[in-house]
Amino acid sequence: MTYYISNDPSYWPYLEWIHRYNYFIVATLTIVIYDWVLTFAQEFELILKQRCSIMNVLYVCVRYSGMLVSIIYILLDFQISITDPGCNILWFMLVWTSLIINAMLGVIMTTRIYAMYQGSKRILIFLIVVLLACTIASVVMTVIGNIGASGVENILSGHRRCSENMSAEDIRLNAEITVPTTVWEILVLCLAAWIVIKHFRELNQSQAGANIRECFMVLMRGHMLYFVVFAAVSCFNLGTLFPSLLSSSVGASFYYGINEVAQAIQMFVLGPRLILSIREYHAQLAESSDEATCFTTIDYP
């Protein structure tokens, strides 16, 4: 077992930075669990009680991985003794879990856009190709950025913490991993906005068109809120490339903490709600016997 032990007072500002950042980690776990409690009744009726499907599996993976990621952060940053191999495992679990969840969210978005384009095989192939390209780019950047990284347990003035050893270039590359995902999200937002505007023009006069417009609005509302938070997270991630945010200042700790909370909301709160909102609306349509006017036109699993 390898320790880095120091009682150097120069590390105290860094320890204060970690202490402030930990408040945001706890807030992140609290938000994820609170949202899970709020929506569990809907989840049970609309997801868990239904027959197994790809969307159900994706929902469960995205929803419950949020709790896992938050717990990993707690294990990394709180006063818990972990060996160097344990630090390595936790670090790489954190890195790859985020990448895998973003890929799952990409599949959910692909399904939504495919449904909005009324099952167009051309748009489906286009989305799959772009999603694969962006995911592969993120995987390659992740591998390169972490190939030399290693976890080590630090004991600084009696405070234990797992940290990763990597060069400044690798840190920068890890911050740039979100660029391909950002490109993907901008693309699907533009495709969603285009088809909504197109259908609004075509169906403006008919009663059936009003029902279909409502379906598109349900899809678009969830998409827009998700994209706004994702855009904020991307800006925060790109902002970490500035050297001024590598300090142990109060502002830097709040910046990283707010970024952590926003990313958790985007991935583990709004991500599952992309599926849950459609399932809930579908159930409401079925109860009012209007399903045939909408989801026969917009086929969402």
What would the pLDDT profile of 12-40 be if each residue is shown by its tens digit? 777 788 888 888 888 888 999 999 999 99
Sign of CA dihedral 217, 264, 229, 176: negative
pTM assigned to the model: 0.81
Strand partners of residue 160: 155
Closest CA to 172 of 229, 245, 231, 99: 245
pLDDT of res. 2: 47
pLDDT by residue for the chain (301 residues), tens digit each?
A: 445 566 667 677 777 888 888 888 888 889 999 999 999 999 999 898 888 888 899 999 999 988 888 787 777 666 555 665 667 777 778 888 888 998 999 999 898 888 888 788 999 999 999 999 999 999 999 888 888 776 666 666 666 667 676 776 777 777 788 889 888 888 988 888 888 777 777 666 555 555 566 666 776 777 778 888 887 887 887 777 776 666 667 778 888 889 889 888 988 999 898 888 888 877 777 666 544 445 444 445 5
Position 2, amino acid: T
The label of the residue with tokens 């991993």 reads: 177
How far apart are the C-alpha atoms of 144 and 140, rounded to whole Å?
Answer: 6
Burial of 134 (C-beta count, 10 Å sphere; 0-12/13-18/19+):
buried
Element spanning 3, H or E: strand 3-6
Q: Are the beta carbons of 65 and 268 closer than 8 angstroms?
A: yes
Element spanning 58, H or E: helix 54-77
